[in-house]
Chain A
């Protein structure tokens, strides 16, 4: 069965430290899509990135980077030189190409606290 695990419930670091949020997924589908969303203290949910299963290239966007490894079924998210504004809950999600209901399977989220 499909599943997304974010084992880190809460992470606290001091500003400017690098931090990695882990995401491990399970799926039987060979074609699937992985997503990261951010939920800042204001409460809205913001899309960060999408990765499909055929593209294992790592992605970098400013201070954010994502490491997709099919061999370990992981899609980890790293923030370099963290800032207080990065404080948020981060969710990882999975969507399978064969799912005709277009469901997203969500991890439980990791609360990231960046201390000044």
Chain B
């Protein structure tokens, strides 16, 4: 079975940094795109970043502050988040792409909460 397990969330002050990790199992990790989606408290889903055969992509709201990467040997996806803002507070989900191109997201982790507050 496909499993995605996020970690690394927590409480951080504005301007701080966090690195999220997502460990995958149950599929050949290198063959699929991966993505991060977040959900602010009581709000809808927001696509954050994706990594696929076409490279890396970011939402305008995080471009220049967040960096997505992957270690295929460790079956792990990362999201380095720098210069964090209060509005980055959310649950961060990693999700597996349906294809290597990653247009759709067929499996999701349980999410890791990030709170940015002084």
A and B co-occur in one complex: no
- B-binding residues in A (CB < 8 A): none
